[in-house]
Structure 1
Amino acid sequence: MTVPTSALVIPDLLRARAGALPDQDAINVRGQRSITYAEWDARSNAVARGLLARVGGGRGVRVGLLFGGDDWIEYAVAYLGVLKAGATAVHVNDNLPVEELERRFAQCSVAGVVHGAAQPWPHREDRWSARTVELEDADASPVDAEVLPEDIADVLYTSGTTGPAKPFTNPHGNQTYGRGSAALGALTNPAPLLAPMPLGTTSSATTVAVLATTTPSPLIVCSPDDPEEIARLIAEHRCGTVILTPWTAIRLMGIDPTARHDLTSITSVGNASAPMPPRTARQLLAAMPDAVISSAYAQSEAVPAIIMGTVDPDRHLVVGRAGRGTEVVVVDEQGEPVAPGELGEIWLRSQAPKRLYLDSELNALVHAGGWTRTRDRGRMSADGEVTLFDRAVDVITVGGVPVSSLEVEAAAYEHPGVREAAAVAVPDPVLGQSVAVVAALAEGTEPHELIDFLAQRLPPHSTPTAVHRMDELPRGGTGKVLKFALRAALADAQPLTPAARPAVR
């Protein structure tokens, strides 16, 4: 059931690749520029030396990494340099407001900030700043800094979908868990892997630290915000794998990419972050007829514990079964396992070094006996298949009956005039709560049409009493809808479209 914890640290993954494949491209940015494993290894050595000369010692020192756009190579060099020095990287994105950047730097007590050329950051008396190239020492030989699997590699932030993003630590041994020599072999798949990811996020940290150092395929990275370029890169490089969040996939299918690009080289789509709307999954499979869409359900705080499955548009909330080295249980409010098929909270566990919040009180709420409480509601069958119901905070309780916002949203996306959709609870004087949908609608689509459409597809208690128009839904850095912001905005709002009160069944 479990996998022995790896004795490796993240720099070991890069050193192994640089030794085996020195001249192979490690990271290719948009098909325009790249860095080899040997270059990455040497430059990150030089950054580590420059950092140690500046701070005197690495362990316990936190260094902010502020990058954006296409600056993947400088980010990767800085990141591995920080880790080789024994320090901790705090990943932030340049799309964050200055006030939020300052909040995170202060919260994490960063000693300095390494930034890209387009993200100048002021040098202060208590916090230095430098570009990657400004840290590089003339000596690019390996540094002699002890780094252990239990040492903290990163401070990462949650997606912020339920409130202000929260910081948690990520030990080296968490990222390298289960990655022994078998994971560090040669590139065996010539078809490139395309990873459209935003910089300065948990996703970019994993892409650089693990994916770029262990994938059997050449790695191409690009922005998730340009669906036309994603389609172009797939077609031009004959990519075999693409990693997509649901929001990236929705936008990609929204441009009708097959009218201009051949996507048939794709045989594997990795879906992460959230369940994919069934309509989007069907569109992807039509555009990529030889592809299988794999899903990875996890919580940032529970990684590397993971549930793996294959996306079936007809069973879109079935997330799969426990991955290698993962234990899963569904429990009641007292933490006791529920019967198969009963609704409860999903808990995950692995033997890897734990990711922990900086807030010890929050750790006590989320972690118990090695388990991580996901705060997601779901069911597990007798044979271990897990079906997600909803994020606990997003469940809408209509007259005592729980409604899955995910089910409502999946039904809303079936309407051809819906570009974006989110279902949230709004106060109801009789039922306690009712369902409201906030949607970006195509020109000519009216809110009442969507209500009528959903009334034909959902039980009465799940049918929205209102549809609110919004040009664009508020989203966090990973593309997830900020439902807490929608709930706050709609708490006192009147329905834009009257609808009959749903009967509760």
Structure 2
Amino acid sequence: MSGGPTVPGLLRQRAADTPDAVALCHLDGATLTFAQWDRSADALAAALADDGLRVGQRVALLFDEREWFGYATAFCGVLRAGGVAVPLSARLPPGQLVARVTVAGAVGIIREGCAVPAELGGWQRGPAGAATDAVPDRATPDGAAQIIFTSGTEGSARAVVATHGNLTHGHDTTPGRRQLAHSRYFLHAFPIGTNAAQTMLLTGLAAEPAALVVPRFDAAEVCAAVEEFRVGTLFLVPSMARELLASGEPDRRDLSSLVLVGTTGDVLPAAVARALGDVLPYATIVNTYSSTEAAPARTTMVFDSRRPDAVGRGAVRITDDAGREVAAREVGQVWIGSDAPPRRYLDGGDAATFRDGWTRTGDRGRLDDEGYLHLTGRDASTIHSGGTKVSSFAVEQALHGHPDVRDCAVVAVADPVWGERPAAVLVTRTGAVPADLRAFLAGRLSGPEIPQRVVCVDALPRNDGGKVVARSLRGLFPPAGSTPAAAPVTVVERRLADIWASVLGVAAVGRDDDFLALGGNSMSALRLARLVSDQFAVATPVSALYARPGLAAQAAWIADRMSGSP
């Protein structure tokens, strides 16, 4: 292969083998062939070399979401000139954009359709250039090709370096061996600058079908495109899958051409996978599990109702925190392996993440007796409630099973008694917390796992990769005592508040307080039920109190029974 196993080498090979084949396509029918892509990358590489770009220097790429042709040209042109591409999202706030360009050490920016903050120095240029003869490929397989940032959902994003050998691993451009040969088009709507979009760009270089690129995910637009272009393969992140299902568009469009729906970027909840299978009966639903650091190492799993929460098997290890492998069914650190050249952090500190061909993903999980991986949550999202480790992932999976819950996230909130307790943020069909939510969860989760505080929002904050930005949710749960408590209003509320204060040993109780959030547990709930039964002459099962832990809700339930209402 001319150029060897480098990214521009893949492009040159495809341009030689299939020059007139469409590589990228827009919804308006505009196309970029492999020959056009190769020539425009050559033109840019020559211009960058003339500008003095040296091998190994880093160049930031900032493109409007609609400029995929220009972006593809810029990415391969920078790499052909020996540079290192730094893909950035046009959706980043100016401060984050400046920070990432600075961290990456970019000497300049290639941009199209985007404004650049004034604080950024270095040179700027567009991707266009005059046609030129083929230029030498200055890239090498073991040379750095790109710097991309992790999602940063729990903290600061980190810069990850990938070599050409890492990016091209597993991509075979040989006729008859190209990926996705069952499709004429594969479609994705991943934003430029994300790891998922980079995966799609490399797939577009090596796969058989053309890449139909959509600037921003819109369920109606995507389904219309699938119908019009007879798309065979659709790539989504789980949040897009939920939006697709909620839209009702699959019932209004002919999506029978879809034979593969692949999800990536996060774990696909079992309830969402089942629903996708129902509305897309001709498609195989596949979830891919990896991470920005681990790629191209990954596991893939065709949805299997017998093990709905599994994410695949293969090169997976589970270790304790000291790095020792644990037995099947024991929870520990998840490592996934590959014989591809590994990635690394730009700022160092690799030893805890990269080791002998294995990459620690930052997730916790277990292997079942057949070797399938089941995730239990991220290290950073484990909730330490008393002496129990609560997996926010497991709680979210249970919440997804409720028919009124469209989306959800679980975070840890401080608790004066337990240290931390789980709290849930929901997007529901009605815009309100389902009345039966606690009873629904009681049959699926243990007491410490049931969220003690629950709020509803219109939409969860997500990054460009579709992952929930957990740190943005904690402000929805102010610390106890940080806001004035609303005083009980009715006679029943005031009497019940006195009982709560006695049972829980607290000085005062507000009408919006939550019994469990104030430290209530199964034993104190049993005592509360007995006192309520005695003092209000109302038969009170503990389950009735657990189903409505708020003081006002419990008081309303008691008042209804006192008045003879069912």
Q: Write the mapping of 1:84-99 to structure 2, written as runs, cut at 5 A.
A: 84-99=80-95
Is 1:482 aligned to 2:474, yes or no?
A: no
Contact 1:158 1:300 in 2 (8 A): yes
Contact 2:196 2:264 in 1 (8 A): no
Alpha-carbon distance in 2 for matches of 1:304, 1:444: 40
Q: Write the mapping of 1:459-474 to structure 2, written as runs, cut at 5 A.
A: 459-474=446-461
Q: Write the mapping of 1:368-387 to structure 2, written as runs, cut at 5 A.
A: 368-387=355-374
Q: Write the mapping of 1:22-421 to structure 2, written as runs, cut at 5 A.
A: 22-54=19-51, 56-116=52-112, 118-121=113-116, 126-133=121-128, 136=129, 138-180=130-172, 182=174, 188-208=181-201, 210-312=202-304, 315-322=307-314, 327-361=315-349, 363-421=350-408
State the structure with bigger RCO (CA 8 A, min sep 6), 1 or 2: 1
Cα distance change of structure 1 residues 49 and 263 upon mapping to structure 2, 3 Å threshold: same
Alpha-carbon distance in 1 for matches of 2:175, 2:418: 53
Cα distance change of structure 1 residues 503 and 161 upon mapping to structure 2, 3 Å threshold: farther
Contact 2:335 2:361 in 1 (8 A): yes
Alpha-carbon distance in 2 for matches of 1:375, 1:449: 34
Choose 80-89 or 291-300, whichever is displaced more. 291-300
Alpha-carbon distance in 2 for matches of 1:59, 1:69: 28
TM-score normalized with structure 1 length: 0.90
Structure 2 alignment gaps of length 5 or more:
486-511, 524-566
Alpha-carbon distance in 1 for matches of 2:515, 2:470: 22
TM-score normalized with structure 2 length: 0.81
Partner amino acid, structure 2, of 1:340: A
1:3 is matched with none
Cα distance change of structure 1 residues 228 and 277 upon mapping to structure 2, 3 Å threshold: same
Alpha-carbon distance in 2 for matches of 1:99, 1:122: 8
Q: CA deviation at 1:257?
A: 1.0
Q: CA deviation at 1:216?
A: 2.1
Is 1:498 aligned to 2:514, yes or no?
A: yes
Contact 2:46 2:135 in 1 (8 A): yes
Alpha-carbon distance in 1 for matches of 2:175, 2:379: 36
Choose 262-271 or 442-451, whichever is displaced more. 442-451
Cα distance change of structure 1 residues 169 and 408 upon mapping to structure 2, 3 Å threshold: same
Q: CA deviation at 1:489?
A: 4.8
Contact 1:292 1:310 in 2 (8 A): yes
Partner amino acid, structure 2, of 1:62: R
Contact 2:404 2:434 in 1 (8 A): no
Q: CA deviation at 1:183?
A: 7.5
Q: CA deviation at 1:491?
A: 5.8
Partner amino acid, structure 2, of 1:336: R
Partner amino acid, structure 2, of 1:131: G
Contact 1:296 1:308 in 2 (8 A): yes
Q: CA deviation at 1:150?
A: 0.9
SS of the residue 1:360 aligns to: coil
Partner amino acid, structure 2, of 1:480: K
C-alpha distance after superposition, 1:389-408 (max 9, x if no partner):
11111122333222222222
Alpha-carbon distance in 1 for matches of 2:231, 2:360: 37
Cα distance change of structure 1 residues 125 and 289 upon mapping to structure 2, 3 Å threshold: closer
Contact 1:67 1:199 in 2 (8 A): yes
Cα distance change of structure 1 residues 348 and 315 upon mapping to structure 2, 3 Å threshold: same
Partner amino acid, structure 1, of 2:39: A
Contact 1:465 1:498 in 2 (8 A): yes
Aligned residues with identical type, % of pairs: 34
Choose 28-37 or 186-195, whichever is displaced more. 186-195
Contact 2:413 2:477 in 1 (8 A): yes
Contact 2:433 2:455 in 1 (8 A): no
Alpha-carbon distance in 2 for matches of 1:452, 1:372: 40
Cα distance change of structure 1 residues 62 and 292 upon mapping to structure 2, 3 Å threshold: same
SS of the residue 1:330 aligns to: strand
Q: CA deviation at 1:446?
A: 3.0
Contact 1:294 1:311 in 2 (8 A): yes
Contact 1:48 1:143 in 2 (8 A): yes
Alpha-carbon distance in 1 for matches of 2:53, 2:224: 45
Partner amino acid, structure 1, of 2:338: S
Structure 1 alignment gaps of length 5 or more:
1-5
Q: CA deviation at 1:268?
A: 1.0
Partner amino acid, structure 1, of 2:219: P
